[in-house]
Structure 1
Amino acid sequence: MNWKSLLIGMGLGVTAGYFAAVKLQQGSHLSSEKALHMAKKSFEDKGEITGSWIHMVPEVLERYNLTYDVYRGGITALIDGMQERFEFLVDAKTGTILEVIED
């Protein structure tokens, strides 16, 4: 075995270990970007989406004796010629929208 192969193998092992550790640290949460994309898809039939935002760090929400990790975000859409704003809470694990509040 030559040193070059050994170093490449070690480098790949360290890289794979790093990415595995990052994934474990994230748990089973969706990324905030993926959650926002899913929320935007849910609003597409309401009108043209003109803006959106999402908090990058999930927060804990307790409802009806159940605990959820959620992302808080918002959508601005053009509906019937009017700008409408909505805030939402989306489950960080499943992407399910749990609450929508119209501003």
Structure 2
Amino acid sequence: MKIRDFLIGVATGVAATIIIKETANRVSPYVPANHVLNNVKAAFKKEAPIDGSWIYMKTEDFYNGVTTVPVYKGGISRIMNGEMESFEFAADARSGIIVDLKRL
């Protein structure tokens, strides 16, 4: 096998990988909403049991003071020290990271 043939094979593999990755990002650039909700619930369960939770499955634009990002909005309720606590959150739809959390 010539080095030229080997390099052509490597270049073809790299190009195919890039094309597949870009196509996958265009088809579904966001983390599924239920995965985001499960991650938020897991973080809250570390402190207290969860009483209820919800999430909007469609993204909304959220301005964080610097830039606008697509987010999922949702909420969590739990009983902490005998009192009901409710929270609303906005999670980045691309990474699932919470960008806003408000106690109601």
Q: Residues of 2 paired with 1:99 and 1:36: CA distance?
A: 14
Cα RMSD of the aligned pairs, angstroms, is 1.7
| Aligned equivalent of 1:25 | 27
TM-score (norm 1): 0.72
Cα distance change, pair 49–59 in 1 and its aligned pair in 2 (3 A):
same
| Aligned equivalent of 2:51 | 50
User: 1:26 Cα shift?
Assistant: 2.1
User: 1:65 Cα shift?
Assistant: 2.6
| Aligned equivalent of 1:75 | 76
Letter in 2 for 1:67: T
TM-score (norm 2): 0.71
Q: Residue deviations 1:12-52, cap 9 Å, x none? A: xxxxxxxxx8874322x110100100111121123110100
Q: Residues of 2 paired with 1:67 and 1:32: CA distance?
A: 19
Which structure 1 residue ranges, 5 or more long, are not aligned? 1-20
Q: Say which SS state the counterpart of residue 65 (structure 1) adopts.
A: coil
Which structure 2 residue ranges, 5 or more long, are not aligned? 1-22
